[in-house]
Structure 1
């Protein structure tokens, strides 16, 4: 439940997964998902060995990472617009997939993931209790207190990453299956992905530049 709650909310990661899934099929969407999960694994390792606290103690470094993430999201939004134009014109999906690289670099510069691993992620490694759904993006306050678990266990970490795997497997499969039934889905998903990336890119740039300045 924890892994699904973290992976499912709309955001830049799912925008990339959706775009790859409808334009290039399930495998490309899944590979993009593994890029996002790889970023989480990297943050997990950094939290485990204590390096994550360095980012927390250096707000300018965190601001720089967030600013880079905002710039990258705007760039990938432009790429999504080009994909939408290509599919609208009937030329088919553009060649080549960079879904893994896109999701990985966005994951490493995504404020949600950075802040999660600086706070909740570190707490997961220490024995205690944690209200896990309270930290779900957007809806945390509404579901606070629903699921409280013991932290510091291998089972919790395995379950979290297992839930992420379920999402990055099932979400692309659902989109690919839907796309086979709706011929005009690709350009609309690509356009929606571009809008999401632009929105988050602007927010992250504002946040990052505000921190740096």
Structure 2
């Protein structure tokens, strides 16, 4: 059991290492508002992961893998990322706090940003593929605990990554001036808009099968 858990902690770490939308938003918020705000973005992303795990465990894998559901997720993800990317560029020089200053941005706002950037079919497809073999046996009580153990291991790995990333970002923040942080925010917004365009491209491509 311990080996299974630790193996999936490593899997969670490896999943979180590649730069994605959640990592970009975490880094931006961490630089602008400190460790806790960046970490709360990660918690928002993990909330989406946890929700998907619950839905899969509840037997909704076939529903979530339906082409129409994935089509809608491409569109919803594109719209959310477009909004967050635009907002990141528009307010690049706003809400930048120095270490020790009072942070005006609310944790709820950072948390919701984490949820929004995590909503994507790529995230859904990942969970479907990771738990594909586990789901076939999830109705058997002897395997239900294994399912939950794997999920807990992966989420723990993602959490360790998020804490490590925010520790590095918060340390870097102490030696950066506000102009540099502003341009990081602009760059992050451009990348998020790029992801949005890709999601929209996938939505349009998948939409063609209905016409």
Length-normalised TM-score, structure 2 = 0.79
- Report the aligned-residue RMSD: 2.5
1:190–1:123 distance in 2 versus 1, CA, 3 Å: farther
Contact 1:126 1:152 survives alignment (8 Å): no
The alpha-carbon deviation at position 86 of structure 1 amounts to 3.4
Aligned pair 1:35/2:44, yes or no? yes
For the residue of structure 2 that corresponds to 1:84, the secondary structure is coil
1:202 aligns with 2:197: yes
Cα 1:154–1:71 change in 2 (3 A) is closer
Relative to its length, the structure with more helix (as a share) is 2
Structure 1 residues not aligned, in runs of 5+: 128-150
8 Å contact kept, 2:33–2:95: no
Mapped to 2, the partners of 1:27 and 1:48 lie a distance apart of: 31
- Are 1:114 and 2:108 counterparts? no
Shift of 1:212: 2.4
Matches within 5 A, 1:83-94: 83-86=91-94
CA drift of 1:196 comes to 1.5
2:169 aligns with one of 175, 179, 195: 175
> Which residue does the alignment assign to 1:62?
70
2:182 corresponds to which residue?
Answer: 187
Matches of 2:28 and 2:207, distance apart in 1: 32
Asked if 2 retains the 8 angstrom alpha-carbon contact of 1:52 and 1:118, the reply is: yes
TM-score, normalised relative to structure 1: 0.78
Q: Which residue of 1 aligns with 2:115?
A: 104
Residue 91 of structure 2 aligns to a residue whose secondary structure is helix
Question: Which one has the largest radius of gyration?
Answer: 2
Cα deviation 1:147-182 (Å, max 9, x = unaligned): xxxx94554333211111111111112111101012
**Whole-angstrom distance in 1 between the partners of 2:84 and 2:12:** 25
Offset at 1:10?
0.8
Cα 1:50–1:199, aligned 2, differ >3 Å: closer, same or farther?
Answer: same
Alpha-carbon distance between aligned partners in 1 of 2:14 and 2:102, rounded to the nearest angstrom: 31
1:115-130, aligned counterparts within 5 Å? Answer: 115-125=125-135
Structure 2: distance between partners of 1:161 and 1:37: 7
How many positions carry a matched residue from both structures? 186
Q: Is the 8 A contact 1:13 1:36 kept in 2?
A: yes
Gapped regions of structure 2 (runs ≥ 5): 1-9, 138-144
Q: Distance in 1 between matches of 2:55 and 2:134?
A: 13
